Amino acid sequence: MVETQENPKVTEPIKTGISIKDLDDFLSDKIDLERNPIHKIDQTKVGDECYRVNVWTKTIGEDSVVPSFSILESFYLEISSNGEIVDQTIRKGKV
């Protein structure tokens, strides 16, 4: 988060990384949104054009009054030289 000059206490997100539209397109065939509504998506730059993307979900159990948040999926994504998202995630059992 960066501070704005008008009000140093007000913050706004840094606008870098993979766009929301591109992430939506990438995730659309990987996550069943009917069964798993997305709460938020985090992305962290971990190298040159490489990002760790975590998809969070929110659930409330039958006997709970407080919601639970968990990472539904985590991806290691790279942006190719032509702007395409390349999934570099290593999955268990697949090498």
Break the chain into its structural domains and give their ranges.
17-87
Residues 6 or more apart whose CB falls under 8 angstroms from that of 60 comprise: 66, 67, 68
Average pLDDT over residues 38-60: 91
Average pLDDT over residues 59-66: 87
pLDDT tens, residue by residue, 20-39: 888 888 988 888 878 888 88
Reading the block at residue 53, the tokens are: 């993307």
Q: Would the pLDDT of 58 be above 80? A: yes
Residue 83 DSSP code: S
pLDDT at 46: 93
pLDDT at 12: 43
pLDDT at 16: 64
Half-sphere exposure (CA, 13 Å, Cβ side) for 12? 7
pLDDT at 73: 93
**37, amino acid identity:** P
DSSP bridge partners of 75? 53
Give this prediction's pTM.
Answer: 0.72
Distance CA 84, CA 31 (A): 19
